[in-house]
Chains A and B, each alone.
Chain A
């Protein structure tokens, strides 16, 4: 039972958070997804624990790539079972952002107007947040190198996870990606776990790409042997020395049929049951997001048909592949934030043979201030296309140099740091009715959204 004094502090914190959010919105300074949480935490440091206490199930999704889409899928699955679900769908995934989403979903008495919670959590923030949220299910998607200027080293993030996951009670189920050797190894610390993965080797490739992040066994330091690779270092692996190998996943994608930028169909299987799902989410990385959501459905004992319906109804989030009509062309926007993700986006876009591409690279804190990672992206994939590429953002020139050294002709590159101008110039290279692919980093995506909102092409706020 919550103490009376705490109750009043909680009520105060929630009220303050809601007031701050209302002011932020009326001043149009953004969706107010973080500041309300900061204020609430300042007024009542235990607000996150207290607010989340009554919710069930509490689901946490973490990992480098795919957490936003996986969390959307999971939230949709819970909603389809009739559970009103609070979800940080705007993607604010640090302590303050989580608290803001809970506070804004509460009534003035500090009680949640929802029964379940799905929270995507930043991978570095996960160890600090898990003991506060005490989730029923934790979904771990993958670990790739991302923003090394902020996280220092991938090993350090994994070390934090290992500790946090090991301290979970046996009642918390960890759904983990068996195909990511580092995630799978970390998850073995969890008292209760459920693995997921892709079984269909036909959907993968035989060898590791140059920028694969985890290549060596954590225990032996010897290179893993892969029979198939799906993305970066994610695939079917085994250590030739100690015998540590990919755990056979409980929830599996057995047959995968990718349909380019329009989605995929996959046959999922668990414990003798199978279920075919269709999704409009594009690319192999979204197959992982759907299998992760299936593992969660399995962990909560949710029925297959509900899951299938929920997955079918989820459309791509802003910047995750949805299409917008603008000025006689289709804009398809795909967020790029690290080598593993960018390589997959290129793998998706290149077969469409697009006439025009826009790449916008920023180096703000939320993007990672270090743009070295561009050199780990295989832009050599673009060779053979006849597209025009417009590069933009605060580091447009870095991107231009990267393309030049990937063998891309200078005469088919436009350098325009200003994003609004860049959009117009990219549009000029796109024939009417064709798709203009926009690949922005995180803050460039936000800027793109503001521009498109001002032009009336996209909705202004974060709810979509």
Chain B
């Protein structure tokens, strides 16, 4: 089996160890004998339509604006890949770009890809950033607990066509108010969790891999791996996050 993994703008959106998600997907596929071809897309490059799994990381405001401009040019190719079943994972800034739009702290509106029915607004420079450890329970069956670290100024609100990825136990999540964290719709996933998100949430990593393989190979049963260390790190993260419930 083979998988084409497309890392979008790794030189711009690489703020929080985002390459860790790529390393984990690659390695977990390799251990199961799946060949992974990695394609990096940079500014001015053509977006490859044949990608099975697209990664979009987080960046600082300046880098995010550069990417938003670039996606306005080549984003429809990503949309057509998704229409054919390609999987997309957007983290933090990348998650915001997957939504309809992002209203910045000074009221400018950056349009997004519209692949997720979410909208993000920054409530202004005076509003506190939502920063800290997160423990959440995934809404998707079998994914269990998700852990990570969030650090975002934007507040994301879900529309009727997006489902929350998880319910927050500790931390803020999408907006610090409704208890949701991340969003998904079909094969498109967005989350504020970095850390990066996949190393300590191996079931989520495998879920993405299985989905990405499905469009070429149909239903795939991934052979289980020894995840003791990954789950130990997840447990340690839960302990370090403490028992602080999200403020309402």
Question: Which residues does A use to contact B, with CB under 8 Å?
Answer: 145, 148-149, 152-155, 210-211, 215-216, 221, 223, 363, 369-376, 394-398, 400-402, 404-406, 410, 415, 417
Interface centre among A210, A223, A372, A394 (most CB of B within 10 A): A372
Would you call A148 and B16 a contact (CB within 8 A)?
yes
Complex Cα–Cα for A395 and B194 (A): 15
Identify 9 new A-B residue pairs, CB closer than 8 A, beyond the known A148-B15, A155-B61, A400-B229.
Answer: A154-B60, A216-B12, A376-B17, A394-B236, A397-B229, A398-B199, A401-B233, A410-B229, A415-B229
Would you call B19 and A376 a contact (CB within 8 A)?
yes
Would you call B61 and A375 a contact (CB within 8 A)?
no
**B24 lies within 8 A of chain A by Cβ:** yes
Would you call A363 and B63 a contact (CB within 8 A)?
no
Would you call B11 and A223 a contact (CB within 8 A)?
yes
Would you call B11 and A215 a contact (CB within 8 A)?
yes
- Given A370-B149, A401-B199, A395-B17 contact (CB < 8 Å): no
Complex Cα–Cα for A372 and B63 (A): 19
Segment with Cβ contacts to A, from B47-55, B129-137, B176-184: B129-137
**B126 lies within 8 A of chain A by Cβ:** no
Contact partner of A395 (CB less than 8 A), chosen from B20, B153, B229, B236, is B236
Query: Chain A residues with Cβ under 8 A from B66's Cβ?
Result: 216, 221
- Given A216-B66, A402-B199, A375-B20 contact (CB < 8 Å): yes
Complex Cα–Cα for A369 and B150 (A): 11
Would you call A405 and B149 a contact (CB within 8 A)?
no
Query: Chain B residues with Cβ under 8 A from A145's Cβ?
Result: 15
Query: Chain A residues with Cβ under 8 A from B42's Cβ?
Result: 223
Would you call A401 and B149 a contact (CB within 8 A)?
no
**B155 lies within 8 A of chain A by Cβ:** no
Query: Chain B residues with Cβ under 8 A from A374's Cβ?
Result: 17
Contact partner of B63 (CB less than 8 A), chosen from A216, A376, A397, is A216
Contact partner of A405 (CB less than 8 A), chosen from B16, B27, B235, is B27
- Given A376-B17, A394-B240, A405-B24, A371-B195 contact (CB < 8 Å): yes
Taken residue by residue from 7 to 47, chain B's Cβ proximity to chain A (1 for < 8 Å, 0 otherwise) reads as: 00011101111111001100100000000000000110000
- Given A216-B63, A397-B232, A401-B230, A375-B19 contact (CB < 8 Å): yes
**B151 lies within 8 A of chain A by Cβ:** yes
Smallest CB-CB A-B distances: 6 pairs: A375-B17, A375-B20, A397-B233, A372-B17, A372-B16, A397-B236
Q: Which residue of B lies closest to A413 (CB)?
A: B229
For the side of the interface on B, what is the size category? 35 or more
Query: Chain A residues with Cβ under 8 A from B27's Cβ?
Result: 405
Complex Cα–Cα for A363 and B240 (A): 8
The B77-131 residues at the A interface (CB cut-off 8 A) are 129, 131
18 intermolecular pairs with C-beta atoms under 8 Å apart: A149-B132, A210-B14, A210-B19, A223-B42, A363-B240, A370-B16, A372-B16, A372-B149, A372-B196, A375-B17, A375-B18, A375-B23, A396-B236, A397-B233, A398-B237, A400-B233, A401-B200, A405-B199
* Distance (whole angstroms) from the CB of A261 to the closest CB of chain B: 27
Q: Which residue of B lies closest to A362 (CB)?
A: B240
Query: Chain B residues with Cβ under 8 A from A372's Cβ?
Result: 16-17, 20, 149, 194-196
Contact partner of B151 (CB less than 8 A), chosen from A152, A401, A406, A415, is A152
* Distance (whole angstroms) from the CB of B195 to the closest CB of chain A: 5
Complex Cα–Cα for A42 and B116 (A): 51
Would you call A153 and B240 a contact (CB within 8 A)?
no
Contact partner of A369 (CB less than 8 A), chosen from B10, B149, B230, B232, is B149
- Given A363-B240, A372-B17, A400-B229, A149-B63 contact (CB < 8 Å): no
Q: Which residue of B lies closest to A396 (CB)?
A: B236
Would you call B240 and A395 a contact (CB within 8 A)?
yes
Complex Cα–Cα for A221 and B232 (A): 41
* Distance (whole angstroms) from the CB of B184 to the closest CB of chain A: 22
Complex Cα–Cα for A398 and B61 (A): 28
Contact partner of B236 (CB less than 8 A), chosen from A155, A375, A398, is A398
Complex Cα–Cα for A362 and B70 (A): 38
Complex Cα–Cα for A394 and B242 (A): 13
Q: Which residue of A lies closest to B230 (CB)?
A: A401
Contact partner of A398 (CB less than 8 A), chosen from B14, B153, B200, is B200
Interface centre among A145, A149, A374, A397 (most CB of B within 10 A): A397
Complex Cα–Cα for A462 and B195 (A): 33
- Given A148-B15, A375-B17, A370-B229 contact (CB < 8 Å): no
Interface centre among B24, B60, B194 (most CB of A within 10 A): B60
Would you call A370 and B240 a contact (CB within 8 A)?
no
* Distance (whole angstroms) from the CB of B168 to the closest CB of chain A: 17
Would you call B151 and A370 a contact (CB within 8 A)?
yes
Query: Chain B residues with Cβ under 8 A from A153's Cβ?
Result: 60-61
Complex Cα–Cα for A53 and B202 (A): 57
Query: Chain A residues with Cβ under 8 A from B12's Cβ?
Result: 215-216
* Distance (whole angstroms) from the CB of B30 to the closest CB of chain A: 10
Would you call B17 and A369 a contact (CB within 8 A)?
no
Q: Which residue of B lies closest to A368 (CB)?
A: B149
Query: Chain A residues with Cβ under 8 A from B24's Cβ?
Result: 405
* Distance (whole angstroms) from the CB of B146 to the closest CB of chain A: 15
Query: Chain A residues with Cβ under 8 A from B133's Cβ?
Result: 369
Contact partner of B199 (CB less than 8 A), chosen from A216, A373, A375, is A375
Complex Cα–Cα for A209 and B65 (A): 23
Query: Chain B residues with Cβ under 8 A from A400's Cβ?
Result: 229, 232-233
Complex Cα–Cα for A210 and B23 (A): 12
Q: Which residue of A lies closest to B239 (CB)?
A: A394
Q: Which residue of B lies closest to A406 (CB)?
A: B23
Query: Chain B residues with Cβ under 8 A from A404's Cβ?
Result: 229
Would you call B200 and A369 a contact (CB within 8 A)?
no
Complex Cα–Cα for A34 and B16 (A): 30
Q: Which residue of B lies closest to A395 (CB)?
A: B236
Complex Cα–Cα for A405 and B202 (A): 12
Would you call A155 and B60 a contact (CB within 8 A)?
yes
Query: Chain A residues with Cβ under 8 A from B63's Cβ?
Result: 216
The B195-248 residues at the A interface (CB cut-off 8 A) are 195-196, 199-200, 229-230, 232-233, 235-237, 240
Complex Cα–Cα for A402 and B85 (A): 30
Complex Cα–Cα for A14 and B131 (A): 37
Query: Chain A residues with Cβ under 8 A from B19's Cβ?
Result: 210-211, 375-376
Complex Cα–Cα for A105 and B243 (A): 44
- Given A394-B240, A400-B229, A370-B14 contact (CB < 8 Å): no
